[in-house]
Amino acid sequence: SSEVLEAIENVILDVLTSLAQKKAPVLTLANRSDWRNIEFKDSVGLQMIPCSTTKKIRSDCPKSAPKFALMLKILSMIYKMVQSNTYATKRDIYYTDTLLFGSQSVVDNIIDDISCMLKIPRRSLHILSTTKGSVAGNLSYTEEDGTKVNCTCSATAVTVPSNVEGIKNLISHAKFMLIVEKDATFQRLLDDDFCNKLTPCIMITGRGVPDLNTRLLVRKLWDTFQIPIFTLMDADPHGIEIMCIYKYGSVSMSFEAHHLTVPSIKWLGLLPSDLERLNICKDALIPLTKQDQNKLASIQKRPYIAHQPMWKRELEIMAASKMKAEIQVLTSLSSDYLSRVYLPNKLQFGGWI
């Protein structure tokens, strides 16, 4: 915490020094959304390069002055929280002054900018992100406050903890981990008792694009147990994008890649090549929209796809067919096809890439 306080004090000192010299204060931070600032490393995923291009938030420019003021406002709130050892969610911060901030996304963006500027992970700034992910299966652990959590015996999932760093005594006999894109599929697999039927496993869903805590938990489980991790996504550009976030990270959070990515993640399904192999009826498939095609083209150009020839091939199959499918398409074969046939076969015969 003393490091965090010192980092904030240094920023404020720079502002005061500029004012003393009759100069307009400026905050400088790495440009998080610029692909030129990102390098791809097989062992880490997408990470920010040390000498990345920066953007300046000026206090004397009408366009950026409001953001400059809001950054100082949130820095002062973080400073107080670290001093008093209290925590808040991004939502709590927004609700301290909704009129001033205008929207939740403004707060979210500024907090990520501050984290990047100070080079300090969000958790150390005493800001908790709201959790939307769930975990189930062969896993138990103790939360930071001493609460014992057992995911094994419940038919319902457990919410991913909001302080992943603080959990300890992780115990599991799971043979693998399955990341499921959507909550509906996750619930269906829970109802079918998938976690216990085949071999013990851990299932996680981030309910779409994963929040920070879900990504931290996947990474923590990987560090602790070193078991294979598979993903089950829709066969569409959006599903592939989500899988890439778990595996290689996102551009906007690349400055924190080391805590968030698991490059050994495997793509289990739904593969575009599965649709033909399983003779899925054409009427059950959905044509790619223009937006889908643009997203697919942008994913195909990313640096990590060149390292994954089999993924590249699957993306080419999707681009050529101009079709996508949701995991639910498997119910056209039989209502429990996913848990009874598809997943057991894939896991037994190595049907992942």
Q: Which residues are catalytic?
A: 95
Give residue-wise pLDDT tens across range 102-127.
Answer: 899 899 889 888 888 888 877 788 88
| pLDDT (mean) for 281-300 | 90
What pLDDT is stored for residue 143 in this prediction? 87
Whole-model pTM over 0.85: no
Residue 179 — pLDDT band, cuts 50, 70, 90? Answer: very high
Q: Which amino acid is at 156?
A: T
What pLDDT is stored for residue 165 in this prediction? 81
Indicate where the chain has its CATH 1.10.10.10 domain(s): 1-126
Residue in 39, 37, 42, 38 with CA at minimum distance from that of residue 308: 42
What pLDDT is stored for residue 242 in this prediction? 92
| pLDDT (mean) for 51-72 | 84
| pLDDT (mean) for 245-274 | 81
| pLDDT (mean) for 191-200 | 83
Q: Which residue has the tokens 């848990």?
A: 339
What residues are paired with 217 via a beta bridge? none
Helix (H) / strand (E) containing 55:
strand 54-58
- What torsion do the CA atoms of 349, 242, 244, 205 make, to the nearest 10 degrees? -60
State phi, psi for 242 to the nearest 5 degrees. -65, -40
Residues 6+ apart with CB under 8 A from 205: 133, 134, 157, 179, 180, 181, 182, 183, 185, 186, 214
- The fold adopted by the segment(s) 1-126 is Arc Repressor Mutant, subunit A (1.10.10)
Strands ordered across the beta sheet of 176-180: 158-159, 134-137, 201-205, 176-180, 229-232, 266-269
What residues are paired with 246 via a beta bridge? none
Indicate where the chain has its CATH 3.40.1360.10 domain(s): 136-347
Cβ distance 266 to 230 under 8 Å? yes
Q: Does residue 336 have a pLDDT over 70?
A: yes
What pLDDT is stored for residue 50 in this prediction? 66
- The fold adopted by the segment(s) 136-347 is Dna Topoisomerase Vi A Subunit; Chain: A, domain 2 (3.40.1360)
Mean pLDDT in the chain? 86
